[in-house]
Amino acid sequence: MNNFIIRFIQRFFMFHMAEGDGGGGTGGNTSLLNTQTEQTSQTSQTSQTQTQTAAIKFTELLAENGDFKADWQNALPEDLRNEASLKNFYQFPALVKSLVHAQKAVGKDKIAIPGEHATADEINEYWTKLGRPATADEYKFAKPETLPEGLQWDDSGNKVFAAKAHELGLTAKQAQDLHAWYTASQIERVKAMPQMLEQQRTQAETELKKEWGAAFTQQLGLAQRAANTFGALEDFEKLGIGNNPAVLKFLAKVGASISEDRLKGGASSVMVPGDAKSKITDIRGDPKHPFNDAMHPGHNQAVVEMNKLYEQAFPSA
């Protein structure tokens, strides 16, 4: 019941009592409905007249059928006259009945919120009243009928979850709903994993083709050679780093260092653009290199090798 009803009837009675009694107390209980301000220092005959006048004034609030008149709220103090909830009352007994119900409801099923300096026992009592189970073991989590490959029902993890839920004061339903949401999100994540890995592979391939150019296939082979040599290819895939460009570039360098058929330095080998550019710079900076000596017997071959280096250094040119 709205506490306003209690406040209203108290104010209503006090307002009329104050007007009828004047604070002298001579009107007694019969002055509660008095609506006329008078001095109470008169004789008992005058008090009786005041009581009769009070009754008459109150009845003026009522229509012929006994209901409140449409404008009965105008007899209230100004701060109560426009209260919307009073428009629901048309009879005085209904108003009094609301007061009785409101008084009975005060304090019913109320839970005091622990203060800043509340003890652990007070906080635990508060959580219990809100509906938290007595122990974390009482939380029950529903296992999905099917789980995607790669995701297992984790009983130990559920116990950790339950312990934290109990610490936070969650009710059984709150904990169940939160756990169900988390489980569903994990299922969706695992289901989306293949698509995510494919996107990562495509992005890595685009980046490495741009950096390795014509040497992409060769460099990728070296990376796979290194991973296979150390038995790490499957582990890289499980960890989701097999499509990481930085990892593949590192593996390519390792693979090149251990490759038995590695082609060293010659133009017949396929070089990544960065290495090809460095090679071009070295050749042009070496005045004794056949490429820079048109009279050298190996000049023509050096020109052919230089053209291949340019193709590898600028594959999109």
Instruction: Transcribe 129-167 into DSSP letters.
Output: HHT--SSGGG---PPPS---TT----HHHHHHHHHHHHH
Largest CA distance in the chain: 146
Closest CA to 266 of 306, 228, 296, 295: 306
**Has residue 40 been placed in a domain?**
yes
Q: What angle do CA 215, 219, 224 make, to 5 degrees?
A: 150
Domain boundary residue, one of 105, 138, 169: 105
39 & 82 share domain = yes
Tokens of 142: 């529903």
Residue 131 shares a structural domain with residue 71: no
The pLDDT value given to residue 222: 82
State both tokens at 101.
Answer: 């119900």
267: Cβ–Cβ under 8 A, 6 or more apart, which residues? 304, 305, 306, 308, 309
CA distance 270 to 172: 65
DSSP bridge partners of 62 = 68
Residue 220 inside a domain? The answer is no
Q: Kindly state whether residues 99 and 132 are assigned to the same domain.
A: no
* Structure tokens, 252: 């390519």
| Per-residue pLDDT, 171 | 92
- Whether residues 52 and 136 share a domain: the answer is no
How far apart CA 309 and CA 270 sit, in angstroms, is 9
| Same domain flag for 18 and 89 | yes
Residue in the block written with tokens 């994993």: 193
Structurally, the chain folds into a number of domains equal to 3
CA nearest to 66, candidates 86, 95, 43, 24: 95
Residue 256 belongs to some domain of the structure: no
Question: Is 87 found in the same domain as 7?
Answer: yes
Distance from C-alpha of 76 to C-alpha of 58, rounded to nearest angstrom:
12
Domain that residue 128 falls in: 120-192
pTM: 0.42
- First and final CA of the chain: distance in angstroms? 83
CA 230 to chain centroid, in Å, comes to 43
SS3 (DSSP) at 24: coil
Residue 296 neighbours by CB distance under 10 Å:
14
Is residue 165 one of the residues assigned to a domain? yes
245 within some domain: no
- The predicted pLDDT at position 241 comes to 67
Q: Reduce the DSSP state of residue 116 to 3 states and report it.
A: coil
Residues 41 and 126 in one domain: no
130 lies in the same domain as 59 = no
**Which pLDDT value is given to residue 79?**
78
Q: So what's the pLDDT on residue 12? A: 56
Residues paired with 68 in a beta bridge? 62
For residues 98 and 129, membership in a common domain is answered with: no
Contact 208, 249 (CB under 8 A): yes
* pLDDT of 259: 61
pLDDT at 52: 40
Q: What is the pLDDT of residue 14?
A: 55
Tell me how far apart the alpha carbons of residues 25 and 9 are, in angstroms, rounded to a whole number.
20
pLDDT values of the chain reduced to their tens digit, one per residue, 317 residues: 455 555 555 555 555 554 444 444 444 444 333 444 444 444 444 444 444 434 336 667 777 777 877 777 777 777 777 777 777 777 778 777 777 776 665 555 566 677 788 888 888 888 888 889 989 999 999 988 888 887 888 899 999 999 999 999 899 999 999 999 999 998 988 888 888 878 888 888 888 888 888 888 888 888 887 877 776 666 776 666 677 888 888 888 888 777 655 444 443 457 778 888 888 898 888 888 888 888 887 778 888 888 888 877 787 64
